[in-house]
Chain A
Amino acid sequence: MAVKTAKRAATPPVKRDHGLHLLHEMLRIRRFEEKCAELYSAQKIRGFMHLYDGEEAIAVGVMEILQPDDAVVATYREHGQALARGVPMNSIMAEMYGKQEGCSRGRGGSMHLFDAKTRFIGGNAIVGGGLGLALGLGLADKKQGKAHVTACFFGDGAMAEGAFHEVMNLAVLWQVPVMFVLENNQYAMGTALRYSHGETNLARRAGSYGLPAEEVDGMDVLAVEKAAKQAAVAIRAGEGPQFLECRTFRFRAHSMFDAELYRSKDEVDEWRKRDPIPNFIRLLKKGNLVTDEDVNALEHKVAEEIQEAVAFAEAGTLEPVEELTRFVYSERVTS
């Protein structure tokens, strides 16, 4: 990560407002999930829960370039994507609580956040299962002549699935307007890249399907944003699907049931040095773009939002059991 030794004030890496905005978004995710971990221990949140700690720069960088009509397909580690996409924090927290004020009425939980308003098409908890959805969303956009982008997030584990092969081939064949965003956090649950893949250069492998495949530092929000922007411009210009490999690391365990026997503390510590949030703060300070007071103000704002979200979730209501069998079939014709 060679940070350019450019003259400080002359070429700031980012405008102050935008830098503050990106930092705010990353902090919202980090602090929200810290709260979630606490609430999980307090048994307010149950089921499987997968934290994004360390990977925030990817969701924030990519969402920055999406338009309101674009679509997002994410994985089961999707709190960050949902927050950055603009799904209200209140409704996400209520979903974690299983309350009917949740973004999926409490039916989905942590792994199945959905939001029609922001075209957030899930929390998909089958590894590789979202790839086909994104392909089809892109196909629909292409058929209807809509200049949308569908951003599809998936992990390195998904690249071992047959679905990945099928979808890459079809995406290139049909030239669908989809941005495939690989979040390579080095581990498929507890299995390291080298134990999962014959070819561990995943961008190279993706490129072999015949689409532009870029590698980007997934710990650098500006780098992700820049790469995503280029990809989105190409997609909107009709140049077909684009692939971004974002190299990253999750600092916490895979889920709340993970003793982390498969990796060393040293490895985690090494990656922590590249934590996207403190590094970005350092960069902004170095450019004289923000002060400690700015950061504190953001932290305060985030803490308030989280406090409100928890209060909202706590005050939320449980769906009456009489409604259990709703939403198996549509209640109205939507055609």
Chain B
Amino acid sequence: MSTVAERQMIEITYREAMRDAIRDALKRDERVFLMGEDVGRYGGGFAVTKGLINEFGPERILDTPLSELGFTGAGVGASLGGMRPIVEIMTVNFSLLALDQILNNAASMLHMSGGQFNVPIVIRMATGAGRQLAAQHAHCLEGWYAHIAGIKVVTPATVEDARGMLWTALEDPDPVIIFENPMLYNMKGTVSADAGPVDINRAQVRRPGRDITIITYSYSLFKTLEAAEMLAKEGIEAEVIDLRTLRPLDDETYISSIAKTHRALIVDEGWRSGSISAEIMARIMEQAFYELDTPVQRVCSEEVPMPYPRHLEEAALPQADKIVDAVKRMVR
């Protein structure tokens, strides 16, 4: 961390922001260590942890064998034993092998022990499509995880959030899962050189507008912002909300936006059925039904396992033009 008193701004990538956040955490708190597959000597599946093993050594940047269930369980146990582990799982699809530990132990332990054993673990994983990785490496399952009572689910979209959310997550006494969309890793942004923790309880308006509220998160935020610019050229001003955290959902931010725009569209890279987008729609029905001028709509991924060819993958995902079309149908 910079010791410079004035707020010096620096331009870094999302990947570097995440790496800086991990580095900070390791320096700040000796209880913190990071473990996962190829996080050390290889440098991380997405190069997020590149070089950290040289700085902190193999005890704190701990390479694990291919044992998602085993090392996630070890993370839960280590957090019960007084450590603050950061467990990296290479992709969300692989995290399914660790789901028992995440749901049956990490999320449930505090409750089933009657409040005695909290689990301060942070789990990071990559999520989402866009690199032709097909049906076992590219799904978007953070909405699933948001179904689980007992954990928090955060989805940093901006460089600032990539830099700050880990700190907040590590200070949380309960399990936090951080979902990183690899499409964001090369994105640049400016952050304060001495950036600290950020609030993870609030959604944020990323673009103000009066005509429609578009609710989204993670990489879809940028497709949505692109769509909003296209719409602006046609005189439609969309308000874009970045949820940032999928559990707990910050209802207040999007409900108050809808009270102003009277229209809501949700953009979600997850599948439509039984999804976080469906949950948000339900909450809008519960809390803002009489504010609506038109039914709430969604742009989600098509309900297919992710196909490999580029044209089909693109067709399966939410895209700016799909968002524009959906908005135009709603704002006449």
- Please report A residues at the B interface, Cβ cutoff 8 Å: 71, 100, 102-108, 112, 114-116, 121-124, 126, 129, 131-141, 143-144, 162-163, 166-167, 169-170, 173, 326-335
Indicate which residue in A100, A114, A329, A330 contacts B112 across the interface (CB closer than 8 Å): A114
Interchain CA distance A328-B69 in the complex, whole Å: 23
Q: CB-CB < 8 A to A132: which residues of B? A: 69-70, 72-74, 76-77, 101, 105
The smallest beta-carbon distance between B97 and chain A, in angstroms, is 8
The smallest beta-carbon distance between A335 and chain B, in angstroms, is 6
Sample (23) of A-B pairs whose CB atoms are under 8 Å apart: A103-B114, A104-B113, A112-B112, A121-B117, A126-B100, A132-B72, A133-B76, A134-B77, A135-B70, A136-B73, A136-B78, A138-B77, A138-B81, A139-B81, A143-B59, A163-B73, A163-B100, A166-B67, A170-B67, A170-B74, A327-B114, A328-B110, A333-B173
Q: Is the CB of B115 within 8 A of A327?
A: yes
Q: Is the CB of A162 within 8 A of B110?
A: no
Interchain CA distance A163-B77 in the complex, whole Å: 14
Interchain CA distance A136-B101 in the complex, whole Å: 12
B63 nearest in chain A by CB position: A173
Indicate which residue in B70, B82, B113 contacts A170 across the interface (CB closer than 8 Å): B70
Interface size class of B (residues with CB under 8 A): 35 or more
Q: CB-CB < 8 A to A335: which residues of B? A: 84, 120, 171, 173
Q: Say yes or no: is B149 at the interface (Cβ < 8 Å to chain A).
A: yes
Q: CB-CB < 8 A to B70: which residues of A? A: 131-132, 135, 163, 166-167, 169-170
| 12 other A-B residue contacts (CB within 8 Å) besides A129-B105, A333-B173 | A71-B81, A116-B116, A116-B117, A133-B105, A137-B78, A138-B77, A139-B74, A139-B78, A144-B82, A163-B70, A327-B111, A328-B111
Q: Say yes or no: is B71 at the interface (Cβ < 8 Å to chain A).
A: yes
Interchain CA distance A105-B83 in the complex, whole Å: 26
The smallest beta-carbon distance between A103 and chain B, in angstroms, is 8
Q: Say yes or no: is B104 at the interface (Cβ < 8 Å to chain A).
A: yes
Q: Is the CB of A108 within 8 A of B105?
A: no
A126 nearest in chain B by CB position: B104
Counting chain A CB atoms within 10 Å of each CB, which of B33, B72, B78, B118 scores highest?
B78
Q: Say yes or no: is B65 at the interface (Cβ < 8 Å to chain A).
A: yes
Interchain CA distance A304-B115 in the complex, whole Å: 30
Q: Say yes or no: is B301 at the interface (Cβ < 8 Å to chain A).
A: no
Indicate which residue in B83, B84, B116 contacts A114 across the interface (CB closer than 8 Å): B116
Given A143-B33, A170-B64, A326-B115, A334:B83 Cβ within 8 A: no
Interchain CA distance A328-B33 in the complex, whole Å: 25
Q: CB-CB < 8 A to A134: which residues of B? A: 77
Q: CB-CB < 8 A to A102: which residues of B? A: 114
Q: CB-CB < 8 A to B112: which residues of A? A: 104, 107-108, 112, 114, 122-123
Indicate which residue in B67, B74, B116, B149 contacts A136 across the interface (CB closer than 8 Å): B74
Interchain CA distance A135-B65 in the complex, whole Å: 14
Interchain CA distance A108-B115 in the complex, whole Å: 11
Indicate which residue in B65, B77, B113, B120 contacts A334 across the interface (CB closer than 8 Å): B120
Q: Is the CB of B80 within 8 A of A133?
A: yes
B175 nearest in chain A by CB position: A329
Interface hits, B97-128 → A, CB 8 Å? 100-101, 104-105, 109-118, 120
